[in-house]
Structure 1
Amino acid sequence: MTRSVPDAGVSLPPVAPEVSAAAVESLTTRLRRRLDAAVESVAALPVDIAEDGTYGIRCGEDAWVTLKPGPSGTITSPDQAHCTCLLSPRCLHRAAVLGAGPVADATPSLAEGQPTEPAAPTAPGRPSAEQVRAAGVLWTAAAAVLAAGAAAAGAVPQAELLRAAHTARLAGLHRAESAALGVVRRVRDARGPQGAHRAHRPDELVAALCELLLVTHRLRAADPDPGLIGGVPHNHRPDGPLRLYGVCREPVVGPGGTGGVVTHLVDGTGRWYTLRDAGPGGPARARRAGTAHVAVRSFLSDHERLSRGGLVVTGAVVAPDGRLLAEPGVRATFAAGGPWADVVPAAAVPDGTGHAPPLTRCDVEIVAADGEEVLVRVVTAGVPGTGPTVRLAPAHRHPALAHTANLRRLGACPGLRIRVLGRVDPDRATTLRPLAVGPVPGAGSATLRLPGEWRDRVDLGYDLLGDEHFPLEAPCPPPLTAAEDRPVDSPLRRVRDLVELAATGGRRAAAEPARDSDRDGHLALRRAGFATGADLFAALGEVAARRPRDAFGRPVADDRDHYAAQWLATAVYLAATEAALGRGLWHG
């Protein structure tokens, strides 16, 4: 018995990188040209799921593709994918279905009986010759994806990158393999049916490409740093019970129409953890999930109560990114929370388990509304009006969520002092996207007045601020009269635009500034004191536009290595400089 599932929110099973790559490699050149269109068409087809967990997709009158995942729910062997057409297994239907499935994490499960190849032996203190060769193969595949750009990096270059990632795993290069899989996922997000939804996050693609190219560049140069090798990520099991304190709830609206909530928590040392509940439903489900039951075994509470309280977890299982996993043996009980001023740490304690990075916390004084955004001055050393002027922008603008309405209400109360917790906008260092706000301790009547049950915090995506939460009178700050008093994005925005354009649009797109002789951008960077940034900005455009030719003027082999190295140098400079600027702006 089967059930038809045409809902776009239901995904195909994850596919091991080597299985997907092998399916593409088996196609003829003619079929490879048709593969991208076939992958796109698979996304719109209904999926039949049998009671034994087999997935079935009809790709034509005589083509019925079946996927039978192993116990882990992942396709780890070519034998788990079949098609009824005459060309199978070297058929377009099978390759398209495997290419449409999400990329599985590395390292197959031993419970499925899949043998694991031994990693290449590593000489003490440096990578082996096999690892250097594997890094070179991965660099070449990554450079090809960068030159094409996410918009043109279809199934074939993705398959080449997946094959190179598998080679890296066999050589024991776990960090490089993980980075390669991350690039493929970001490229697919940008190219998929929901790519437009994620078009505002090219920074994720840039970060993934930068990590992959940087690691492989250093490895192929035989860099002895053991951190470049990495290790297979494992879930962390604390020795004793975890005592966690709720911080805030964050609505999640993701690609593919997913929606849900993430509740952020911290322990007594400042390490961050998350509880996530996401599924099909988009913003409407994100709104409902804010008061939904928490999916932890034996825990009878909801996300709203947890975000203002806490819990004790015994037998905890923590994913490398800080997610609490509801696995067998995990037990949780509700516990009292604490005042928000004490719970929210000013900075996180880094550790080796890869816990979720902290959110940015600061105290600000509201200056004025600016459309849907709010202009504020950062409070430095506890003195209002002394810090830089920055913006608060809605984390989500969908009307089903309360971010925009709450910021509009805050912007109508100049002089109010609030404590803000949020994320710095990756594209604008002077913009913070707050998730929660609360009163500033010691601010007297110039801060929020919240009911006791809110525990000194407002989840901006769920709670709705009203007149009763504001003081009757608040001192008005001096108005913004000069243009220089307003937040001004760093001239590095030009560098970021070029780096992101290169990652999404490819080498041809990155060459446009050089063709247009963007002298204004170069001079603006130099006038602002970013001489290195100006040189890198100009060099990237020039290298992108350069096309080597022989003595007769004919195009010769593309110098992708040189272009990839120049893009990498620019991206590394950009990330380091923006991080330093952000620390100085938000943390003084």
Structure 2
Amino acid sequence: MTVPPVSPVVVADVLDALPPRLRKRVDASLARVAEWTVTVDGDTAHVALDAETTLTWTLHGGALTSADDLACSCLLAPKCLHRGIAVSAADIASDAEVTEVTEAAAEADTEPAPDAEPASGSERAAAAALWDACATVLRAGATGSGAVVRAGLLRAVHTARVAGLYRASANGLRIAAALAAARAGDSSFDRELLTAELVDLMLLCQDLRTDTGPVAELRGTARREYRPIGSLRLYGLCTEVIVSGSGYSGVVTHLVDADGVLWTVPAIMPGGAERISAAASGPVAIGESGLSQRELGRAGLLLSGGTASPDHRLGAGKAVRAVAASAASWTDPPLAGLWAQPLPDQVSRAFQADTRPEGDRPAGADLLFLDGTVLGTAGGALRVATDTTDVDLVGEGERARENLRLLASAAGVRLRFVARLLPDRPGTAVALAVAGDLDLPGNLRHHVDLGLDRLQRSHVAGDGTRELPPRPEPAERVPRPVRPLENVLHRVALGGRAVAAISSADRDVAALTRTGLTTTADVLADLAAASRDRGRDAFGRVVRDTGDDFPFAWLRAGLHVREFTRAAARQAWLPATHP
């Protein structure tokens, strides 16, 4: 058993109490935790380090919420290395994460704060503290951000949450978790994801410091906000499997109302892929319909007194009533109307949604509704010919990939798909569900959820599998012209400022200038210059840099790469919908 989770501020408080000589030893001593045996008795946890030393946690809600609640029996306590090792190795308890899992039981129908209200002084101060913490991470890099740097970030996260900056604090916790994974050599660490999180958080902090943009949106909310939506007649569309990299999994059922508007009912819980089956078979939390998530995707629902968040996630408050109702097939209204929208318009809608904050994206905005004929397999993908163009469909998860391989034998058969657009792979989407000319049994009425259900050979008719050539030039996630700048961004996020300072960017700047990307060349040159511009004292020693020149140069580069990549991906996808 691992040590219990701790609140973000506890890590900072415990490490701040340590003498400097002990702080330096914390990172090198974290491996000791693997040898500890943790015993939990109610709200108390114990670890016997040796015959004379014991660590004792007093827990609240399963987590350590105060530094005073962690006691050590050694003579140096509370300024002992044992406490520093314990909190540095512990997972960070996040109220936001708990809310996401249990929000159905504690739904709050609250009105958001007026958007015209400017950021307060405490909010701007908290945003400035988070900005400084991120700047420290950039200067040190993920590999150089030890327990002390991470503790400073967690203290800033706690300050932001106390000030009501819930969006920023949640982002900061994800960065802290990534730093811990990088230091531990965890395979889950992704430097590209860390770069993206740092860009998002630093931009958010800058907007808060300068009162730029809608403040209510910048603040975020402690709990997902649900507002009354009245009564709805809903029809099940499909059930999607979710496995996130942050340790959550489950399913999301997509529903459609009489006007063709998409809504979702999630069942997400901590755990890996092994929790998917339980989530799919579990009861729907809304009302007392008696339906499971899997059944809801093929049934209907009468909802009264309903509530929903801005992204159309249905709430499960006590006043909500829901009963099972008849279903509709994909060829009947209102579901049939989803396939009536031209594919180019669907692609444009998906890219527009990608620019909106995650919590404000309408449900299903990135879904594609494809109606076409199966051509065969192409590079491991199922190629389908729509009226506009050919689209390659891939699966997420072994079950979905098996089903798509079986559907490849249905060459010449016309099918309908629900798929999720992949913005960085033009002409390619993730298939979620399928219906059409298939001989399906009663338990698979209307459609097949590719991540949950299992197709049999007897369900599929066709002319057999046809092997087709893959697309001649698969699109890359980042266009080649911006690759030199992105490489520097990732190197700084991983190794810190010194990594960029010791390498020359002159050759890449010249190459970008020759290709006409003068703005990209200027951004790269500015970042390289800022990384080398270090102040020195009278004896020539490098002094500690606390200015914003380098963080601003890195942020400008990150924004440039992000927006260039989005624009290039959109331009590459849209031609794929026009033969």
Q: Same fold (TM over 0.5)?
A: yes
Tell me, yes or no, if the aligned pair for 1:365 and 1:417 is still in contact at 8 Å.
Answer: yes
Is residue 429 of structure 1 aligned with residue 437 of structure 2?
Answer: no
Tell me, yes or no, if the aligned pair for 1:429 and 1:578 is still in contact at 8 Å.
Answer: no
1 CA distance for matches of 2:402 and 2:172?
40
Aligned pairs for 1:6-85 within 5 A = 6=1, 12-13=4-5, 15-39=6-30, 41-42=32-33, 45-50=36-41, 52-70=42-60, 72-85=61-74
- Structure 1 residues 236 and 228: CA distance shift in structure 2, 3 A: closer
- Structure 1 residues 86 and 475: CA distance shift in structure 2, 3 A: closer
Is residue 409 of structure 1 aligned with residue 400 of structure 2?
Answer: no
Is residue 438 of structure 1 aligned with residue 428 of structure 2?
Answer: no
- Structure 1 residues 150 and 351: CA distance shift in structure 2, 3 A: closer
1:454 pairs with 444, 459, 462, which one? 444
Aligned to 2:454: 464
Aligned to 1:568: 555
Aligned to 2:204: 215
CA shift, 1:217, in A, is: 1.9
Is residue 383 of structure 1 aligned with residue 388 of structure 2?
Answer: yes
1:332-387 CA-to-partner distances (Å, cap 9, x unmatched) read 5444443346549556898997467534314266555355x3164774xx3345xx
**Aligned AA (1:339):** S
CA shift, 1:142, in A, is: 0.7
1:460-483 CA-to-partner distances (Å, cap 9, x unmatched) read 223233434444249989x65994
Supply the RMSD in Å over aligned alpha carbons.
Answer: 4.5
**Aligned AA (1:434):** V
Aligned to 2:341: none
2 CA distance for matches of 1:80 and 1:316?
42
Aligned to 2:157: 165
- Structure 1 residues 61 and 416: CA distance shift in structure 2, 3 A: farther
SS in 1 for 2:94: coil
Aligned to 1:339: 329
**TM-score (structure 2 length as normaliser):** 0.75
SS in 1 for 2:222: coil
1 CA distance for matches of 2:327 and 2:81?
56
CA shift, 1:459, in A, is: 2.4
Is residue 149 of structure 1 aligned with residue 129 of structure 2?
Answer: no
Aligned to 2:109: none
Aligned to 2:299: 309
- Structure 1 residues 464 and 17: CA distance shift in structure 2, 3 A: same
Aligned to 1:395: 396
SS in 1 for 2:136: helix
1:298-342 CA-to-partner distances (Å, cap 9, x unmatched) read 564433223322445667776788766777777654444433465
2 CA distance for matches of 1:354 and 1:219?
18
CA shift, 1:259, in A, is: 6.9
Identity of counterpart residues, as a percentage? 30
- Structure 1 residues 412 and 500: CA distance shift in structure 2, 3 A: farther
CA shift, 1:573, in A, is: 2.7
SS in 2 for 1:34: helix
- Structure 1 residues 408 and 142: CA distance shift in structure 2, 3 A: same
Tell me, yes or no, if the aligned pair for 2:524 and 2:557 is still in contact at 8 Å.
Answer: yes
> Is there any run of 5+ residues in structure 2 with no aligned partner, and where?
100-113, 339-345
2 CA distance for matches of 1:131 and 1:18?
17
2 CA distance for matches of 1:156 and 1:417?
59
- Structure 1 residues 243 and 23: CA distance shift in structure 2, 3 A: farther
- Structure 1 residues 351 and 131: CA distance shift in structure 2, 3 A: closer
- Structure 1 residues 270 and 203: CA distance shift in structure 2, 3 A: farther
- Structure 1 residues 212 and 277: CA distance shift in structure 2, 3 A: closer
Tell me, yes or no, if the aligned pair for 2:116 and 2:214 is still in contact at 8 Å.
Answer: no
2:87 pairs with 98, 104, 107, which one? 98
SS in 2 for 1:472: coil
Question: Which stretch shows the higher mean deviation, 310-319 or 149-158?
Answer: 310-319
Aligned to 2:175: 183
1:29-53 CA-to-partner distances (Å, cap 9, x unmatched) read 2222232344454366443222x33
2:78 pairs with 89, 97, 113, which one? 89
Tell me, yes or no, if the aligned pair for 1:436 and 1:459 is still in contact at 8 Å.
Answer: yes
CA shift, 1:518, in A, is: 4.2
CA shift, 1:145, in A, is: 1.2
SS in 1 for 2:93: coil
SS in 2 for 1:402: helix
Question: Which stretch shows the higher mean deviation, 32-41 or 132-141?
Answer: 32-41
Tell me, yes or no, if the aligned pair for 1:214 and 1:568 is still in contact at 8 Å.
Answer: yes
Tell me, yes or no, if the aligned pair for 1:83 and 1:93 is still in contact at 8 Å.
Answer: yes
1:490-528 CA-to-partner distances (Å, cap 9, x unmatched) read 3367255543443344334556874694479737xx75x
1:25-80 CA-to-partner distances (Å, cap 9, x unmatched) read 11122222232344454366443222x3333334444343333333x444333333
**Aligned AA (2:69):** Q
SS in 1 for 2:548: helix
2 CA distance for matches of 1:174 and 1:552?
45
**Aligned AA (2:72):** C
SS in 2 for 1:177: helix
Tell me, yes or no, if the aligned pair for 2:237 and 2:256 is still in contact at 8 Å.
Answer: no
- Structure 1 residues 148 and 472: CA distance shift in structure 2, 3 A: same
Tell me, yes or no, if the aligned pair for 1:273 and 1:356 is still in contact at 8 Å.
Answer: no
Is residue 499 of structure 1 aligned with residue 489 of structure 2?
Answer: yes
1:206 pairs with 173, 178, 195, which one? 195
2 CA distance for matches of 1:309 and 1:416?
26
2 CA distance for matches of 1:33 and 1:92?
10
Tell me, yes or no, if the aligned pair for 1:510 and 1:544 is still in contact at 8 Å.
Answer: yes
1:197-235 CA-to-partner distances (Å, cap 9, x unmatched) read x34x54543332122101222333454753465254234
Tell me, yes or no, if the aligned pair for 2:52 and 2:73 is still in contact at 8 Å.
Answer: yes
